[in-house]
């Protein structure tokens, strides 16, 4: 090992010296995830189906609403309801944190050349490093469970929204930016009144991508004890139960399609058909 | 009164600006500086003074630095060297806050591709400047409605700008500029993206608006016809340098160099050149009381002319007198010339264009007198020079043509 040794040392050093910090993060994140999870599990399944279908109808039209109903009913009768809600809660929590960190990073990297030079290679690293690798430091920092799963998911899911936020802001026509400045806009006014509104479709595409990536990672995160559909997939693999594995996999796909259709249309004006 | 002053303004893009500026000072040209330093000289030692209430046009082809020069005035681009003053306040050393303030209050800008916010309505685009200043919504929209009326956009205020045609969008751009009630309007190729017909219409409307508003307008264009039509004065730029500044007539009748000459070659001069600039300013004259037939004859012989304008002693124009008539008077031994004066001659003022003088040629073969408002003679314009100016031929060519016609 050439660099691995140093990485190992660094991770170990951080684990020892920042244990207080990691404990605090662990506590905060697990509270957040538990609240979200408890809420979705507490809701009766038909209410959840109604909420999802309503949002799908509102944002993505009738066809997608029908798809949503059928998909969720399948999941319910396949017996994966609680696991699906756990997965959904974990995706939601991770995605929210990834967006809260990713969008400001994207704005920053669009605004200054230096920031972009720093952020870009880090994003490349985050996206191309095999996702499983994140699981190791996650476990070292936070132990086994849902929080390290969320940690790995956040790292894995953040790059798209950073990139697309940055891209969206840079794509605002130069003349519009100039015009805004020429009328005496402060940098803050330029950002909130012009750049962000005009970049919104692109940013929302990033939000969609981040949620999709979060979902795919949440399943992998079950390897270190994150709850949800991933657990069942893992069970199917380890016990060689093809049927179980396939069915739980199908539940993941259905959840993915539903989330994708809804978030893909966030930016578009509502179409009620 | 002076509104904007630009002093020794230079702008260089690229690294190693100091070396480039030094070379610039040594009179090296754009290509040499680019070769040596890799820097592009966008504007070079520009000096300008723009008066309050005038439309000042900066004209040049693309890459001549005209748009860059304009952006220095509100510091969308910071000049590398030199100073800019608006109302005698130096823009170039203002801090961010002062700059923000002057952009909000004094300098508005109109853009080639409009620079509007496509996701907003016409009304909220027009009110945008005031929104940035924190004016309450009701108040700013009330003011915006007034401006919308001014540019003829009534009824469109709630449409999204992306739904409007180019001409309409630029009206929004213009309205947004005017809504802040700025003293200076910076217009960057404002009409260049429009269809020719709409463009000409917008030019007319701008001129009508300007009569009411009396703003100071700095207008950038690459189109000479546009420059001539709307500019009180024109500056022509080439390779970052201001080559000539003057009224359209000054530039056309007296181009500073071959570049400008080739530029103005195809302009319809007859609409621009006026009697004042082509008249012969101190013509020989016959004075009613002082010059008798003998004296007039002498003046005619000395100058080789066959007719003279006749004036009273205070230079009031009376008419012309012809050589043949003077000879007849002399034979009759008349003491004065008043019997032979040809009266009822049509005269023009110095600002009459050639276009408007051409019809007069069909009535007379005498020179056309140019008089001021008090009917005092200021000069005469010969038919030959009218034809020369309107056709672009020189006098020799015209004489050749006449010669050939006589031979036939």
B151-180 confidence digits (pLDDT tens): 888 899 899 998 898 889 999 999 999 998
Report chain B's mean pLDDT, rounded to a whole number: 89
How far apart CA B237 and CA B42 sit, in angstroms, is: 11
Whether B104 sits inside 8 A of A184 (CB atoms) is yes
Surface-to-core class of residue B10, CB atoms within 10 Å of its CB (0-12 exposed, 13-18 middle, 19+ buried) = buried
**Average pLDDT of the residues in B28-37:** 85
Q: What is the pLDDT of residue B120?
A: 92
Q: Which member of B76, B108, B117 has the closest CB to residue A181?
A: B76
Q: What does the pLDDT read at residue A268?
A: 66
B-chain CB neighbours of A175 within 8 Å are 111-115
Q: What average pLDDT does this structure show over A177-203?
A: 93
Tell me if B114 sits within 8 A of B187, measured CB to CB: no
d(Cα A110, Cα A114) in Å, to the nearest integer? 10
Question: Quick one: closest CA in B to A200, which residue?
Answer: B119
Residue A273 has a pLDDT of 35
pTM here is: 0.80
What would the two tokens of residue A134 be? 């994140």
Identify the pLDDT of residue B200: 92
Annotated domain spans of chain A: 4-264
Residue A186 has pLDDT above 60, yes or no: yes
| CATH code linked to domain B2-106+182-267 | 3.40.50.300
SS (H, E, C) chain A: CCCHHHHHHHHHHHHHHCHHHHHHHHHHHHHHHHHHHHHHHHCCHHHHHHHHHHHHHHHHHHHHHHHHHHHHHHHHHHCCHHHHHHHHHHHHHHHHHHHHHHHHHHHHHHHCHHHHHHHHHHHHHHHHCCHHHHHHHHHHHHCCCHHHHHHHHHHHHHHHHHHHHHHHHHCCCHHHHHHHHHCCCCHHHHHHHHHHHHHHHHHHHHHHHHHHHHHHHHHHHHHHCCCCHHHHHHHHHHCCCHHHHHHHHHHHHHHHHHHHHHHHCCCCCCCCC
**B263 interfaces chain A, CB cutoff of 8 Å:** no
pLDDT(B385) > 80: yes
Which strand (E) or helix (H) includes residue B52? none
Mean pLDDT to the nearest integer, B41-69: 92
Residue B38 has pLDDT above 60, yes or no: yes
* pLDDT exceeds cutoff 90 at B245: yes
CB B73 within 8 A of CB B11: no
Q: What is the predicted pLDDT for the residue at A269?
A: 55
Q: Cβ of A130 under 8 Å from any chain B Cβ?
A: no
Q: How many Cβ atoms are within 10 Å of B114's Cβ, its own excluded? A: 26
Q: Which residues of A touch B113 (CB under 8 A)?
A: 173, 175
Of the partner residues B105, B111, B119, the one whose CB lies closest to the CB of residue A197: B119
Least confident residue range of A126-135, A244-253, A262-271, B70-79: A262-271
Chain A residues touching residue B111 (CB < 8 angstroms): 175, 178-179
What is the residue-averaged pLDDT of chain A?
89
**Identity of the highest mean pLDDT range in A93-107, B279-293, B321-335:** A93-107
Task: Tell me which chain A residue has its CA closest to the CA of residue B98.
Answer: A184
pLDDT of residue B47: 93
- Which residue in the block uniquely carries the two structure tokens 């023009």? B348
Does the pLDDT value for residue B30 go beyond 90?
no
Is the pLDDT reported for residue B72 higher than 70? yes
The 8-class DSSP code of residue B15 comes to S
More confident residue, B126 or B361: B126
In chain A, the percentage of residues whose pLDDT exceeds 70 is 97
pLDDT confidence of residue A271: 43
| Structural domain boundaries in chain B | 2-106+182-267, 276-407
Q: Nearest CB to A189: which of B74, B111, B132? A: B132
Q: Give the pLDDT mean for B330-335.
A: 84
**Residue B108: closest CA among chain A residues belongs to which residue?**
A183
pLDDT at B247: 92
Across B110-125, average pLDDT: 92
Q: Where are the beta strands (DSSP E) in B68-192?
A: 81-86, 89-90, 107-110, 184-188
Q: Residues of A numbered 142-201 whose beta carbons fall under 8 angstroms of chain B's beta carbons: which are they? A: 173, 175-176, 178-186, 189, 193-194, 197-198
Tell the burial category of B408 from Cβ atoms under 10 Å away from its Cβ (0-12, 13-18, 19+): exposed
Give the pLDDT of residue B384: 85
Q: What tokens were used for A12?
A: 């170990």
| Inter-chain residue contact A175 with B113, CB threshold 8 Å | yes
- B131 vs A193: CB contact, 8 Å cut-off? yes
Tell if the CB–CB gap between B109 and A175 is shorter than 8 Å. no
Can you tell me the mean pLDDT for A16-22?
A: 85
**A183 contacts in chain B (CB < 8 Å):** 103-104, 108-109, 128-129, 132, 176, 180
At B69 the pLDDT is 93
User: For the segment A162-178, what is each residue's pLDDT rounded down to a tens digit?
Assistant: 999 999 999 999 999 99
Q: What pLDDT sits at residue B394? A: 77
pLDDT above 90 for B204: yes
Band (pLDDT 50/70/90 cuts) for residue A267 is low
B109 vs A183: CB contact, 8 Å cut-off?
A: yes
Nearest by CB to B115, from A175, A185, A186: name it: A175
B133, A179: Cβ pair inside 8 Å?
no
pLDDT, residue A172, reads 94
Task: Give the chain A residue whose CA is nearest to the CA of B186.
Answer: A182
Most confident of B121-130, B249-258, B379-388: B121-130
**Do A175 and B111 count as a contact with CB atoms less than 8 A apart?**
yes
Shortest Cα distance, chain B CAs vs residue A179, angstroms:
6
Q: At B268, is the secondary structure helix, strand, or coil?
A: coil
Average pLDDT over residues B256-266: 86
Residues of A in contact with B105 (CB under 8 A): 184
CB contact under 8 A, A182 and B131: no
B276-407, what's its fold? CBS-domain (3.10.580)
Say whether the ipTM exceeds 0.85.
no
CB contact under 8 A, A184 and B118: no
Q: Which is the CATH superfamily of the domain at A4-264?
A: MetI-like (1.10.3720.10)
Q: Average pLDDT for residues B243-264, to the nearest whole number?
A: 89
**Taking a contact as any Cβ pair under 8 Å apart, which residues of chain B between 114 and 143 contact chain A?**
114-119, 128-129, 131-133
A50: alpha, beta or left? (left if phi > 0; alpha if psi -120 to 50): alpha
In this prediction, residues B247-253 reach a mean pLDDT of 88
């Amino acid at each position: 090992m050439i660099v691995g040794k140093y990485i190992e040392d660094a991770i170990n050093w951080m684990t020892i010296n920042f244990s207080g910090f990691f404990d605090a993060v662990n506590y905060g994140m697990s509270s957040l995830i538990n609240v979200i999870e408890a809420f979705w599990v507490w809701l009766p399944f038909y209410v959840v189906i109604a909420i999802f279908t309503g949002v799908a109808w509102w944002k993505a039209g009738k066809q997608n609403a029908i798809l949503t109903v059928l998909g969720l009913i399948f999941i319910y009768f396949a017996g994966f309801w609680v696991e699906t809600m756990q997965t959904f809660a974990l995706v939601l929590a991770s995605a929210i944190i990834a967006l809260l960190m990713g969008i400001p990073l994207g704005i920053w990297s669009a605004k200054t050349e230096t920031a972009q030079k720093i952020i870009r290679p880090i994003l490349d690293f985050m996206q191309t490093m095999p996702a499983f690798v994140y699981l190791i430091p996650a476990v070292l920092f936070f132990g086994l469970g849902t929080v390290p799963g969320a940690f790995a998911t956040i790292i894995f899911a953040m790059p798209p929204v950073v990139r697309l936020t940055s891209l969206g802001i840079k794509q605002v026509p130069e003349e519009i930016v100039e015009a805004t400045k020429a009328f005496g806009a402060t940098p803050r006014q330029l950002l909130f009144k012009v750049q962000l509104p005009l970049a919104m479709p692109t940013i929302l595409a990033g939000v969609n991508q981040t949620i999709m990536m979060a979902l795919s990672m949440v399943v992998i995160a079950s390897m270190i004890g994150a709850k949800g559909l991933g657990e069942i997939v893992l069970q199917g693999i380890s016990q060689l139960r093809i049927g179980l594995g396939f069915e739980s996999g199908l539940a993941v796909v259905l959840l993915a399609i539903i989330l994708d259709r809804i978030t893909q249309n966030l930016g578009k004006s509502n179409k009620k058909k | 009164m002076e509104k904007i002053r630009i002093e020794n303004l230079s702008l260089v893009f690229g690294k190693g600006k100091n070396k480039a500026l030094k070379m610039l000072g040594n009179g090296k040209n754009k290509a040499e500086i680019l070769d040596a330093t890799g820097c592009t000289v966008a504007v070079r030692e520009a000096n300008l003074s723009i008066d309050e209430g005038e439309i000042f046009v900066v004209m040049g082809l693309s890459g001549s630095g005209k748009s860059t020069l304009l952006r220095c005035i509100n510091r969308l681009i910071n000049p590398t060297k030199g100073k800019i003053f608006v109302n005698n306040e130096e823009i170039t050393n203002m801090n961010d806050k002062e700059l923000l303030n002057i952009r909000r209050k004094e300098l508005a800008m109109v853009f080639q591709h409009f620079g509007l916010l496509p996701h907003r309505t016409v009304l909220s685009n027009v009110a945008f400047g005031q929104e940035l200043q924190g004016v309450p919504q009701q108040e700013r929209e009330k003011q915006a409605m007034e401006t919308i009326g001014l540019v003829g956009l009534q009824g469109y205020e709630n449409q999204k700008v992306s739904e409007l045609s180019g001409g309409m969008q630029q009206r929004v751009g213009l309205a947004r500029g005017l809504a802040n009630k700025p003293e200076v309007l910076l217009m960057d190729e404002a009409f260049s993206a429009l269809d020719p017909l709409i463009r000409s219409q917008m030019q007319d409307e701008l001129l009508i608006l300007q009569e009411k508003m009396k703003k100071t307008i700095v207008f950038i264009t690459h189109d000479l016809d546009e420059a001539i039509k709307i500019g009180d004065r024109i500056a022509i730029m080439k390779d970052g340098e201001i080559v000539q500044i003057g009224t359209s007539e000054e530039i056309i009748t007296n181009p500073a160099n071959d570049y400008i000459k080739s530029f103005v070659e195809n302009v319809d001069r007859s609409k621009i050149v006026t009697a004042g600039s082509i008249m012969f300013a101190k013509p020989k004259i016959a004075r009613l009381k002082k010059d008798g037939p003998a004296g007039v004859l002498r003046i005619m012989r000395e100058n080789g002319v066959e007719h003279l304008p006749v004036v009273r002693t205070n230079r009031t124009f009376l008419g012309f007198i012809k050589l043949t008539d003077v000879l007849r008077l002399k034979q009759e031994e008349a003491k004065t010339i008043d019997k032979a004066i040809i009266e009822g001659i049509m005269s023009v003022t110095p600002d009459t264009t050639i276009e408007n003088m051409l019809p007069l040629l069909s009535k007379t073969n005498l020179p056309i007198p140019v008089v001021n408002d008090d009917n005092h003679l200021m000069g005469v314009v010969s038919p030959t020079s009218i034809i020369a100016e309107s056709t672009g031929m020189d006098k020799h060519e015209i004489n050749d043509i006449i010669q050939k016609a006589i031979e036939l």
